[in-house]
Amino acid sequence: MKMIRRALVAIGMAGLVAAALRLRGVGGTPPQSGGWRELSGPELG
C-alpha cells in the first residue's frame, strides 16, 4: 500500500513538472528593428 502511494505521488510530481515545462517553453527572440512594407507593382516585377 505504501509503495503504491509513493508511486502515485512520484507520478503526480513528474506530471506537474512536465506540465510546468510544457507551459513555460524555451527560446524566443525579441524583435530587433525595422518593419513591414507592402510590396508594390515594380517590386513584384
Partner 1 sequence: MTRVGIVGVGAVGARLARQLVSTEVEQVLIRDESRNRAELVARSLGDTAMVDRGEMTDPLDVDVVVLAGPGRLQATHAAVFVRNGQHVVSTSDDIDDVRALLALDHEARERGVHLVVGAGFAPGLTCVLAAHGAARFDHVDEIHVAKSGTGGPACARQHHRAVGRGALDWRDGGWEHRPGGSGRELCWFPDPIGAQDCYRAALPDALVLVPAFPGIRRVTARVSATRRDRLTARLPMLWPTHPEGGPGAVRVELRGVRGASRDVVVFGAMDRPAVAAGAVAAVAVGFAVDGMLRRPGAAGLAELVEPVPFLTELARRGVRAAIFEGDVAPSTSGGLGAS
Cα–Cα distance measured from residue 20 to residue 23, given in angstroms and rounded to the nearest whole number:
5
* Shortest CB 43 distance to partner 1, Å: 7
Min CB(4)–partner 1 separation in Å: 26
Report residue 5 as a C-alpha cell: 502511494
What CA–CA distance (Å, rounded) separates 6 from 3?
5
Site for partner 1 in 4-43 (CB under 8 A): 19, 22-23, 25-39, 41, 43
User: Binding residues for partner 1, per CB under 8 A?
Assistant: 19, 22-23, 25-39, 41, 43-45
